[in-house]
Structure 1
């Protein structure tokens, strides 16, 4: 079978890898798969973006009128002041979310980003494609479709979606079937508007590289890929999982720790960037810092610090 006739291929003699699911769910076995990676040429090329979620509290303060807070427009200025290459303006922080923003707002945001020399590296929404509630999933598919159109109007090449949490009483295999069907609908719609759909591993249904790549296999679309969350592979060595999924990455979420936001273990950024470069990834590395209970959190200080560390790692790796 010619490679281009089917983008996703099973490994010969696929091994069965046992994976336990949530308490009360059935034990399932996910076949190891080999998906045809995204074809890239020219070697690695990295651009650093800011995920707006780093400023979640300040942005929500403004939206909810709790304090002055911060607007997305003001966050553009922050990105320019610190010489980010791009911004990832998460959908939650647009006026009226989950409704779509007005054309006027989108156009003004695009204009200001362009004037400041900033790309829009992607955007994202809330959704749950794991729930057994078919009507709820259908509503979320429609929500993603609406925001695919927003992404197209923004000039964002990728929209970030979630898989959803494990479901008690349902096996991984059962849930993955309806999840893949919903994600395929979104990818087909993204194709119409020139927007890639990326699913983010988020410690939910997608805890490992094998689970994530299985979903890529099942969706089977050139308009679908992985948002590599470097802080949410629930394995002993997340760097191995990161390396396995990077060939299928359409975007990233670079976190401070590979073991979850509450872990004191810092990401080995040199190792991470080396993995990304060795895989020939060309694209954005959006960074995201997170607040922790009991830890003073000032993104205006923490984000520039983390940005400097990521830049140093990129410089050290020379890619």
Structure 2
């Protein structure tokens, strides 16, 4: 009788585990909410007054992500301790290995650059910086390096295509270099030279490279209906910045996450969806609270859509 009881118990336990495993598999979706490190910008740029070391590092943020079951992170380049210079190979390896040990994917990184400057020396400096960080990204198995376009230069407000053509030449050089290292360049609509879907597509068409795509910033389209622009650009997306509102920073109209996820699904994108919370003047800001709240809303929307 004891053997039979043990056998029944084992069978019940096995069935329970199988059921639990099936449920876990059912909860795996083709869209994975993740984090853009810029949400923790103030902490990551803070330095100890005595030794000038980071108060809160990317390693600390990785540990926090692991504790909160966040599966992916974009470690923006300017939160590395030596930016704009690339850290040592030892540092890059330690960061890559730490992320891997925690089961976290490094989904992208990004630099500061200005490809809209009328000064070709400024544009070329941005290209050279991009190349350094493309090499660094390849060493960390990061697939995408985000590049800005730049603000519309004074005096060129009615000469958009002329400036865009400068940008295209810079992006072309970066994409060709990225191909050699297995890293794509991500062109972000940042509410500057790139404010609409049509402008983004103009630049992408000009670059004409499989090694260039869009980082769709859902909060930086300067149009009446940003969701329309987002829908047009989903097929070009290689990474994202999901914002709290589809309008300017501080706007009280929250993102309709279910609508956004449905648009992303219909456009055929699969992969990580980094979110980015932002400090708004006059409002308390705590990324340790706001990031989990936003991620929960994203997860809930994905469950509804799928």
What interval of TM-score do these two structures reach, taking the shorter chain for normalisation?
0.7 to 0.9
Equivalence for 1:127:
113
| Unpaired segments ≥5 residues, structure 2 | 1-28
| Structure 1: gaps spanning 5 or more residues | 1-43
- Alignment correspondent of 1:101: 87
Is the counterpart of residue 274 in structure 1 residue 262 in structure 2?
A: yes
Q: 2:175 aligns with which of 170, 187, 202?
A: 187
Counterparts in 2 of 1:303 and 1:67: CA distance versus 1, 3 Å: farther
The question of 1:45 aligning with 2:33 is answered no
Q: Is the 8 A contact 2:54 2:81 kept in 1?
A: no
Matched ranges for 1:61-80 at <5 A: 61-62=46-47, 69-80=55-66
Kindly report which structure 2 residues correspond to 1:162-241, keeping only aligned pairs within 5 A, or say none: 162-170=148-156, 171-241=159-229
For each residue in 1:113-145, what CA deviation from the matched residue of structure 2 results, as whole angstroms up to 9, or x when unmatched?
A: 011000000000000000001111111100000
Structure number with the higher strand fraction is 1
Higher relative contact order (CA 8 A, sep 6+): 1
Call closer, same or farther: CA 1:262–1:93 in 2, change over 3 Å.
Answer: same
Deviation at 1:47, TM superposition (A): 1.8
Which aligned runs of 4 or more in structure 1 are off by greater than 2 angstroms?
Answer: 62-69
Distance in 1 (alpha carbons) for counterparts of 2:96 and 2:52? 27
CA-CA distance at 1:70 after TM superposition: 1.3
Deviation readout 1:217-241 (Å, 9 max, x if unpaired): 0111110010000000000000000
Partner residue in 2 for 1:32: none
Report the aligned-residue RMSD: 1.4
- TM-score relative to the length of structure 1: 0.84
Q: Distance in 1 between matches of 2:187 and 2:241?
A: 11
Aligned residue pairs, count: 275
TM-score normalised to the size of structure 2?
0.87
Q: Name the residue aligned to 1:251.
A: 239
Q: What does the per-residue CA deviation read over 1:166-205, in whole Å, with 9 as the maximum and x for residues that have no partner? A: 0122210110111100000000000000001010000000
Q: Is the 8 A contact 2:73 2:104 kept in 1?
A: yes
User: 2: distance between equivalents of 1:67 and 1:86?
Assistant: 25
